[in-house]
C-alpha cells in the first residue's frame, strides 16, 4: 500500500509539474492566439497583423483564444489617423460575469491636430471608476507603439514603449480588492463612442472620414494559462516558470520610477494653453503679446526634493520672468521660489529666490548665474525637509533657510504645496526696476523645461503633517545626512555667495531700518 501511495503521489507531482510548465507561454503570431469575435466583415487577420475597421454599419473586435492569470501582455498598435473624434480603440484584459475583473487601455479619438487621450482603468469584482488619463508624448498614428500590461500577484503596471505610466498595487490585506482570482482574456476593439469619448460627447464622428482603421501586431502574452481554480495558486507560486513573481517585479526600479514621475505624468497646463507645448518629458512655455503660459503639478507635496531642468529665454529677455516654485493655496500660503529675471542681450539674468511662510514673504536673495542659462539646460532643485529648505543650482547649494520655529520664526511644514512653472510679462518691475520693457519684436519668448523629478511625500490630507515628517526609510529626506550641509557643500555655497550674490534681505539696512527679521540673526548653514 505504501508503494502504491508513493507511486500515486509521484504521478500527481508529474501532472502538476506538466500543468505548471504549460502555464507559461510565448505565442508567436497574433493570428494563432486571437480570433475575431465581432464585426468579422470588418476585420483582417493576416499573420501577425490585425486590422480593425469602423464605419457606419459596425465596428469590430477580436479576443484571445485562451484566458490567463498573471503575466505580461504586449501589443503593438497604430491608432486611427487624422480626424478620429468619437472613436475608441481598445486593448484590455477582462474576465466574464457580473463581478468581473478588467484592466484597460482605451484610446479616445480627437479631431485632427488635437491629441488622443490614453484612458486607463481597472475593475475588481465588477467595480471600476479608477480612471487615469494621459496625453501621448508621441504621434500614436504615425507608427506602431508598444502597449504592455504587466500583472502579477503584487501589482499591475501599464507601460507604453517600456515606460511605466501607472501602477495599481495589491492592498488586499487592507481591504482593497485586487484582481487575482479570475482568469482574463485579452480583447481589442474599435467602436463608435461619440456619445462620450470626445469632449464628453460634444464632438461626434464625421462619417465622411470613414472607414476608420486601427492596426495591431505582435501580440505577445508571456503569461500563465488559466486552467480553472487550481491556477489561483499555481500561477502565483514564485518559480522560475512564473517569472513575474520574482522580487524584481514587485516594485519599479529607481530608473523606471524616474520615467513614470516625469513631466507628462505629473504636470498639466493651467493657463495659456495656446502658448505652451508638452511632449514626453519636454515642456515649452511661450510668451507673446497675447499671453504668457504656465503649468502646475497634478499632485501636492509636503517635504522632499523637487528637480527641474530649465533652459531660459535666449537673447533679449528684458521684462520677462521665468518662474519655478512651490506654493500652497491658502490665504496665508507658503511658497518657495526660483524666479529668473530677464535682461537685455549681453547682460546676465538674475536668479531671484524667496520664501513665504503663513502669507509673509519679503525674504529675497538674488544671484548672478556663473554660466549661460540660455545655452543649455541646468538643474534647479528645491530640497525641503522638516529641518531646512535648500536651493540648488546644478547640485551646488546657493541658499539655506533653516527651521527655527521653536524660537518663534515661522517655517513651512503644515501646508501641502504644488509645483508651478510659468513665463510671463513682468516688465513693470523685473528688469532694472521696470525701466526696461519687453521688446515685442523679439517675441515669441520661449523657455524650455525637462526632466521634472518630484522625489517627495504626496499630500493625503492633515494626516500627512505627521506622516511626511516621520523618520522612516520611505521619508529618505529625514535622514541625518540631510539635516546639515556637508563641509564640501558649505564650501561650494560660500563660493557662490562670495562671488555671485547681489542682494540679501538680511543686509538691507535701509529697507528694514535696522529691524531685521529674526532669522537674519540665526546661522543658516
What are the DSSP E strand ranges found in 272-368?
276-279, 282-287, 293-297, 301-311, 320-327, 335-341, 350-356, 365-367
Give me the half-sphere count of Cα atoms (radius 13 Å) on the Cβ side of residue 495.
Answer: 11
Grid cell digits, residue 334: 507658503
Active site residue 106: no
d(CA 336, CA 354) in angstroms, rounded, equals 6
d(CA 437, CA 425) in angstroms, rounded, equals 9
CB atoms within 10 A of CB 289: 9
Identify the bridge partners of residue 188 per DSSP, sorted by sequence position. Answer: 62, 91
Give me the half-sphere count of Cα atoms (radius 13 Å) on the Cβ side of residue 197.
Answer: 24
Q: What b-and-e string marks burial along 206-240, b requiring 16 or more CB atoms within 10 Å of the CB?
A: beebeebbbbbbbbbbbbbbbbeeebeebbbeeee
d(CA 324, CA 328) in angstroms, rounded, equals 14
d(CA 192, CA 199) in angstroms, rounded, equals 14
Grid cell digits, residue 475: 521619508
CB atoms within 10 A of CB 408: 7
Of 339, 481, 494, 519, the active-site residue reads 339
Nearest Cα residue to 54 out of 249, 196, 231, 194: 194
DSSP letter for 296, please: E
In the three-class reduction of DSSP (H, G, I as helix; E, B as strand; rest coil), residue 30 is classed as helix
d(CA 89, CA 189) in angstroms, rounded, equals 6
d(CA 369, CA 393) in angstroms, rounded, equals 9
DSSP letter for 331, please: T
Nearest Cα residue to 422 out of 514, 310, 511, 525: 310
Grid cell digits, residue 421: 512653472
452 neighbors 266 (Cβ within 8 angstroms): yes
Active site residue 339: yes
Residue by residue, DSSP assigns 137-180 as: SS-TTTS-EEEEEEE-SSEEEEEETTEEEEEEE--GGGT---S-
Active site residues: 335, 339
Amino acid at each position: 500500500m505504501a508503494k502504491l501511495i508513493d507511486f500515486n503521489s509521484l504521478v500527481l507531482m508529474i501532472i502538476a509539474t506538466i500543468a505548471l510548465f504549460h502555464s507559461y507561454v510565448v505565442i508567436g503570431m497574433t493570428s494563432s492566439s486571437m480570433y475575431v469575435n465581432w464585426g468579422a466583415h470588418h476585420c483582417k487577420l493576416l499573420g501577425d497583423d490585425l486590422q480593425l475597421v469602423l464605419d457606419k454599419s459596425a465596428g469590430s473586435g477580436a479576443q484571445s483564444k485562451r484566458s490567463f492569470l498573471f503575466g505580461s501582455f504586449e501589443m503593438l498598435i497604430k491608432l486611427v489617423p487624422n480626424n478620429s473624434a468619437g472613436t475608441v480603440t481598445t486593448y484590455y484584459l477582462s474576465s466574464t460575469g457580473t463581478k468581473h475583473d478588467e484592466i484597460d487601455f482605451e484610446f479616445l479619438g480627437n479631431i485632427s491636430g488635437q491629441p488622443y487621450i490614453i484612458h486607463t482603468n481597472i475593475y475588481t469584482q465588477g467595480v471600476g471608476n479608477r480612471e487615469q488619463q494621459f496625453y501621448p508624448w508621441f504621434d500614436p498614428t504615425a507608427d506602431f507603439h508598444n502597449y504592455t500590461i504587466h500583472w502579477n500577484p503584487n501589482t499591475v503596471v501599464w507601460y507604453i514603449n517600456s515606460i511605466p505610466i501607472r501602477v495599481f498595487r495589491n492592498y488586499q490585506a487592507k481591504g482593497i480588492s485586487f484582481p487575482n482570482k479570475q482568469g482574463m482574456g485579452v480583447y481589442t476593439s474599435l467602436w463608435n463612442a461619440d456619445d462620450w469619448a470626445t469632449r464628453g460627447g460634444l464632438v461626434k464622428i464625421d462619417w465622411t472620414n470613414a472607414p476608420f482603421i486601427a492596426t495591431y501586431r505582435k501580440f505577445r502574452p508571456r503569461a500563465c494559462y488559466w486552467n480553472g481554480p487550481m491556477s489561483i495558486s499555481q500561477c502565483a507560486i514564485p518559480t522560475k516558470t512564473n517569472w513575474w513573481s520574482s522580487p524584481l517585479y514587485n516594485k519599479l526600479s529607481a530608473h523606471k520610477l524616474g520615467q513614470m514621475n516625469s513631466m507628462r505624468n505629473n504636470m498639466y497646463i493651467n493657463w495659456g494653453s495656446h502658448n505652451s507645448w508638452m511632449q514626453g518629458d519636454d515642456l515649452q512655455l511661450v510668451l507673446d503679446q497675447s499671453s504668457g503660459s504656465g503649468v502646475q503639478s497634478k499632485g501636492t507635496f509636503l517635504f522632499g526634493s523637487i528637480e527641474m531642468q530649465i533652459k531660459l529665454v535666449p537673447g533679449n529677455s528684458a521684462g520677462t520672468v521665468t518662474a519655478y516654485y512651490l506654493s500652497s493655496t491658502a490665504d496665508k500660503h507658503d511658497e518657495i521660489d526660483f524666479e529668473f529675471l530677464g535682461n537685455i542681450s549681453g547682460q546676465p539674468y538674475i536668479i531671484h529666490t524667496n520664501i513665504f511662510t503663513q502669507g509673509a514673504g519679503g525674504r529675497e536673495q538674488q544671484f548672478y548665474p556663473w554660466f549661460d542659462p540660455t545655452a543649455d539646460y541646468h538643474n534647479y532643485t528645491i530640497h525641503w525637509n522638516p529641518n531646512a529648505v535648500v536651493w540648488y543650482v546644478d547640485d551646488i547649494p546657493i541658499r539655506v533657510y533653516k527651521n527655527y520655529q521653536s524660537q518663534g520664526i515661522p517655517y513651512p511644514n503644515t501646508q501641502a504645496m504644488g509645483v508651478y512653472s510659468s513665463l510671463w510679462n513682468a516688465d513693470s518691475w523685473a528688469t532694472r526696476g521696470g525701466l526696461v520693457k519687453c521688446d515685442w519684436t523679439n517675441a515669441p519668448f520661449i523657455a524650455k523645461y525637462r526632466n521634472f523629478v518630484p522625489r517627495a511625500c504626496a499630500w493625503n490630507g492633515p494626516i500627512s503633517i505627521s506622516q511626511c515628517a516621520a523618520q522612516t526609510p520611505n521619508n529618505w529626506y529625514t535622514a541625518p545626512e540631510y539635516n546639515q550641509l556637508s563641509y564640501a557643500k558649505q564650501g561650494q555655497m560660500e563660493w557662490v555667495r562670495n562671488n555671485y550674490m547681489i542682494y540679501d534681505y538680511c543686509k538691507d539696512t535701509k529697507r528694514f531700518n535696522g529691524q531685521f527679521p529674526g532669522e537674519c540673526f540665526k546661522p543658516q548653514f
